Amino acid sequence: MHIALLVPAPFATISGGYAYDRRMVEGLRSAGHVVDVVQLPGRHPLPDDTAKRAARHAWQALAGDARPVIDGLGLPAFADLADALAERAVGLIHHPTALEHGLPESDRTALREIERRVLPRLPKVIVTSTSSRERLQTDFCVAAERVAVVVPGTDDAPRSPGSGGPGCAILAVGTLVPRKGHDVLLRALARLFDLDWSLAIVGSAIRDPAHARALETLAEELGIGRRVRFAGEVDDAALDHLWHGADLFALATQWEGYGMAVAEALKRGLPVAIASGGAAGLLVPVEAGVICPPGDHEGLSKAMRRLIFDADLRRSMAETAWQAGRLLPDWTTQTAAFAAALA
């Protein structure tokens, strides 16, 4: 099969969605498929003229036998080509861009109008969770028979032994954008000033530098700046080190198309404290952590108090998390499922 993945540049961007795309490209190529990665310059997801021109050029340059797969972050740039997309394009939707928290409401409205116009016309849409499939059906009028669910895979990973105490080392992994809810997590932890904890946040600040700076300012204003480390983007070795020494994973995300970092935490046997937005909450057995409504920093704080204070409870939840992680699919299986969805 000849596949062309059209995705906003740069393809090396650090995020769950881009990681999924890269692993699928790698797996499909290893399975003998031909995969062209076409990187689209310009502003995304609400496209500027550069992005629209790049989309038109990329579409016109497609090989006749190529199956075009358009990453959802770049899909709005193809809105003027909706008639052509309806003939052969596949949408790869990690989550609809109209659901991105932190964008101006006018931008979200514009994106919602574009996605409601384009998504129902695509002959096939691949999503990364059942939650996203349901959202496409109810909010974007995409027919159920056109949607295939291919969740991310996971790699084998060693079990995290933890920090060894005496405090609780908390790890959060997620790009520094409003949707990830790092501000909610900081407010939750600030209420636990009487407990011994530290927080490392791994995530790129490139997509929203102003929000990233605001998070650092918030930590200082809340009086927890010395306990919080903004690690930024890190390489695999550094991230493995952070996973190795973590006692608890936390992410107060507003919405997740799947929750790859949450799956990684389970794979490494870490108890989790997360928000229930999107699919993330569906990954976690109730005995493996705590799940609170999105935006509820008070509820999250109360739930995390028990986990931070009670090391025995964390150990019990860690065992459940480890067992749940053993059941998650691997990338080879999910790459085959992706290829089947395209066939």
Q: pLDDT of 4-47, one tens digit each?
A: 999 999 999 888 899 999 999 999 999 999 999 999 999 999 99
DSSP 187-233: HHHHTTTTS-EEEEEE---SS-HHHHHHHHHHHHHTT-GGGEEEEES
Q: In whole angstroms, what is the distance from residue 269 CA to residue 274 CA?
A: 15
Instruction: Using DSSP, state whether 90 is helix, strand or coil.
Output: strand
In this prediction, residues 86-106 reach a mean pLDDT of 90
Q: Return the number of other C-beta atoms located less than 10 Å from residue 275's C-beta.
A: 28
Percent of residues, the chain, with pLDDT higher than 90 = 90
Question: How confident is residue 281, by pLDDT bands cut at 50, 70 and 90?
Answer: confident
Structure tokens at 11: 């393809």
Question: How confident is residue 146, by pLDDT bands cut at 50, 70 and 90?
Answer: very high
* pLDDT tens by residue, 214-271: 999 999 999 999 999 999 999 999 999 999 999 999 999 998 989 999 999 999 999 9
Q: In whole angstroms, what is the distance from residue 242 CA to residue 232 CA?
A: 12
Across the chain, mean pLDDT equals 95
Assess whether 311 and 336 both reside in one domain.
no
pLDDT score for 73:
95
pLDDT score for 95:
87
Question: How confident is residue 168, by pLDDT bands cut at 50, 70 and 90?
Answer: very high
Produce one character per residue of 38-74: b if its CB has 16 or more CB atoms within 10 Å, e if not. Answer: bebebebbbbeeebbebbeebbeebeeebbbbbbbbb
Q: In whole angstroms, what is the distance from residue 186 CA to residue 42 CA?
A: 33
Nearest Cα neighbor of 176 from 198, 216, 199, 208 is 208
Q: In Å, how far are 66, 290, 293 from 287, measured between CA atoms?
A: 46, 8, 17
Assess whether 100 and 194 both reside in one domain.
no
Assess whether 204 and 59 both reside in one domain.
no
Produce one character per residue of 158-168: b if its CB has 16 or more CB atoms within 10 Å, e if not. Answer: ebbebbeeeeb
In this prediction, residues 106-111 reach a mean pLDDT of 94
pLDDT score for 291:
96
How many independent structural domains does the chain possess? 2
Residue 207 lies in a domain: yes
At 208, which CATH number? 3.40.50.2000
pLDDT at 106 over 90: yes
User: What is the greatest pairwise CA distance in the chain?
Assistant: 64
Assess whether 121 and 68 both reside in one domain.
yes
Rounded to the nearest 5°, which phi and psi values hold at 295? 80, -5
pLDDT score for 165:
84
Assess whether 32 and 95 both reside in one domain.
yes
Residue 262 lies in a domain: yes
Assess whether 193 and 271 both reside in one domain.
yes
Question: How confident is residue 207, by pLDDT bands cut at 50, 70 and 90?
Answer: confident
pLDDT score for 277:
84
pLDDT score for 304:
97
pLDDT score for 99:
84
Assess whether 221 and 101 both reside in one domain.
no
Q: In whole angstroms, what is the distance from residue 34 CA to residue 209 CA?
A: 36
pLDDT score for 16:
87
Residue 272 lies in a domain: yes
Assess whether 194 and 235 both reside in one domain.
yes
Expressed as residue numbers, the domain containing 202 is 168-326
pLDDT at 83 over 90: yes
* pLDDT tens by residue, 171-193: 999 999 999 999 999 999 999 99
190 with 221: CB under 8 angstroms?
A: no
Assess whether 47 and 99 both reside in one domain.
yes
149 with 338: CB under 8 angstroms?
A: no
Q: In whole angstroms, what is the distance from residue 64 CA to residue 328 CA?
A: 37
Question: How confident is residue 102, by pLDDT bands cut at 50, 70 and 90?
Answer: confident
pLDDT at 101 over 80: no
Assess whether 190 and 284 both reside in one domain.
yes
- Beta strands 124-127 and 147-149 are parallel
